[in-house]
Structure 1
Amino acid sequence: MNKDHLEGGLRHLGGRVKTAAGAVGGKPGRQFEGAYDQAAGAAQYAYGEARDAVRDLRDGGEHLVEEGRTRFRDVSARGRDLADEAFERGQHYRDRAVHHSRSIAARADENRGTTLALVAAVAFAVGWLARPTR
């Protein structure tokens, strides 16, 4: 409730009293003043209502903006966390791949003959499978 809301209601009420007093006393000027005050009070009251409605909308908008900011911060923080986690997993998988490739290379170096026979067998199988059929 604001000043216009309250004053408009009081002016409207005062206008009704003036209108009634003018009707009882037979004074048309007083009735006219009362009707004018009633209309002006109703308009001022409606203006006060509109101000309250605008204030409520503004407050609601500010609340929505703040909630949007909060959610954006939460999402961006979660995004950073996910990016950090993905980076760490990538490093972990890279380290495992390097370790396994070095292990395989060391085994191949220890067993050169077996490795050579295995590579030759795979090459022969691929060549045999890729040959043109008649």
Structure 2
Amino acid sequence: MNRDQFEGGLRTLRGRGRTALGAVTGRPRQQIDGAVDQVAGTLQHGYGRARETADDLHRDGTEFVDGARTRGRAIAGDVRDRAEDLRRRGRGYRDEAVRRGRDVAAQADDNRGTTLLIVAAAAFATGWLMRRTR
């Protein structure tokens, strides 16, 4: 409860008292002033409630944004970690492919005759499979 709610409630009670006293004593001016105080007190109390609601919404919004920021940073960290892991794995695959390619090239260099025979057979088979048949 904030100051406006408290003061508005007091003003409403004071206005009710003035209205009742004016009715008992027969003074219409006092009744009118009491009614005005009741309305003003109710409005002030309503303003205080609206202000409190706005403060609550502001606080909740701030907490929501902070939570979203924290979750976003956690997700970004996970993405960075996964990307680094994928880069590391990709480098490993590349290095393995380069190593195996060098091994094949070295083996082909050591066995030049066999390699030439295999390449010639592969070229002949490819040509034979791609020929036109009539």
Length-normalised TM-score, structure 1: 0.94
Cα displacement string for residues 98-117 of structure 1 (whole angstroms, at most 9, x for unaligned residues): 11111111222222222221
The unaligned stretches of length 5 or more in structure 1 are none
Cα displacement string for residues 64-114 of structure 1 (whole angstroms, at most 9, x for unaligned residues): 211221122112212211221121111100110011111111222222222
- In the other structure, the counterpart of 1:38 is 38
- In the other structure, the counterpart of 1:13 is 13
- The alpha-carbon deviation at position 133 of structure 1 amounts to 2.0
- In the other structure, the counterpart of 1:89 is 89
- In the other structure, the counterpart of 2:98 is 98
Number of aligned pairs?
A: 134
- In the other structure, the counterpart of 1:75 is 75
- In the other structure, the counterpart of 2:112 is 112
- 4+ residue runs of structure 1 moved beyond 4 angstroms? none
Q: Distance in 2 between matches of 1:37 and 1:107?
A: 103
Q: Secondary structure at 2:132's aligned position in 1?
A: coil
- In the other structure, the counterpart of 2:130 is 130
- In the other structure, the counterpart of 1:58 is 58
Cα displacement string for residues 12-55 of structure 1 (whole angstroms, at most 9, x for unaligned residues): 01111111111112111111111011000000000001101111
Q: Distance in 1 between matches of 2:88 and 2:128?
A: 43
Q: State percent identity of aligned pairs.
A: 53
Length-normalised TM-score, structure 2: 0.94
